[in-house]
Amino acid sequence: MKNSKRLIRNLIVFIILIITTFLVVFQGQDISELIDIILNVNKTYVLFGIVCMALYFIFESLNIKSILKSLGNKVDFSSMMRYSLVEFFFSGITPAASGGQPMEIYYMHKEGIPIPKATVSLLIQLICFQIITIICGIVGAIINYNFIKDGLIWLFIFGVSLNLIALLTMMVCLFSNSLAKKIVNFVVKILSKLKYKNVDKIKENLNDTLKSYNDSSKIIRKHKSVYLKSFFIVLCQVIAYYSITYFVYKAFGLNEYNYLQILSIQAMLYVSVSSMPLPGAVGISEGAFLGIYHHVFGANILSGATILNRTINFYFYIIIGLICTLVSALKLELKNEETKKGQIS
């Protein structure tokens, strides 16, 4: 019941953010004209964009499946795709994508994958993803500095900083247990001085998390070979995701910028907004797109491009993720019913 209430609350906040964002994006726009622009784009390029987002999930599923196989757990590809889409849905509706991985691990565990191995597979995926997005984002900013020098540079610096902090936190928790404990004790001490409620519960949760990371570290050290393969697959995943904007660009019949230019701009944009503490970075992503791509798309079609791009790489697959979540919940419920019947028999 408590989890259901939290899910409903997150969905309400998510929907409010979407409505607010659309009102801002469409401010001063002729809606009928904007709809007409979107409806008249090249549908083939839109399809290419949708396929690229599908490839994003396919590469992620292949990578986690490969890691689990190396750890001695076989899982079918369709289940792995479902887990990835469930993770995408919960990441999209929770602040800073905090709910995605825990829910993915939950469903993986309920369907027979041990929690330590599920955690390790997602950690390797996430670490590789963080490293690649940070490097690509910094390179993109160096190449396209003119796009962010007026105000947006601070958004970029803040976004890179958040991603680096997340990456360093994972690395410390995994490979320096003593330092991680010192950090936990320091945080608990500060919270105690501030007379924060439930400090003991927070300390217990943090220590449990550290134990999970420590167990994961032991497994990772024994399977170092998976890193190189994972890094390559995740790189393909990131490229597929960044390519969506290029196909949106082509869908509007534009040709001034080439594929690599759009790719580098998108890398810079993604690292700027991906770790923002809002569900799905809704609002910030659209706002940054409007600011960075102003000269790329032009004022007349910029709003349409923003909506089309976010529909392909986020909103459309959030709906698919919701469907996969309902399927996973139903599958789990049926499994529980069969278990109860078996016990009664």
Q: Kindly list the distances between the CA atom of residue 232 and the CA atoms of 71, 161, 268, in Å, as whole numbers in the listed order.
A: 19, 24, 20
In 71-198, where does DSSP find H-type helix?
77-93, 100-110, 115-143, 152-175, 177-193
CB 83 within 8 A of CB 325: no
Q: Which residue has the higher pLDDT, 111 or 233?
A: 233
CB 306 within 8 A of CB 25: yes
d(CA 152, CA 158): 10
pLDDT interval class at 31 (50, 70, 90)? low
Mean pLDDT, the chain, as a whole number? 82
Q: Does residue 215 carry a pLDDT above 90? A: no
pLDDT digits (tens, 9 = 90+) for 123-150: 888 889 999 999 999 999 999 888 777 7
pLDDT at 268: 93
What SS3 class is residue 276?
coil
pLDDT at 339: 63
Mean pLDDT along residues 67-96: 85
pLDDT digits (tens, 9 = 90+) for 222-245: 766 777 888 999 999 999 999 999
d(CA 306, CA 200): 45
What is the phi/psi pair of residue 224, to 5°? -65, -25
pLDDT digits (tens, 9 = 90+) for 248-284: 999 999 999 999 999 999 999 999 888 877 776 777 8
Least confident residue range of 16-30, 31-45, 169-183, 223-237: 16-30
Least confident residue range of 9-13, 310-314, 328-332: 9-13
Q: Determine which helix (DSSP H) or strand (DSSP E) holds 286, and give its type and residue range.
A: helix 284-292
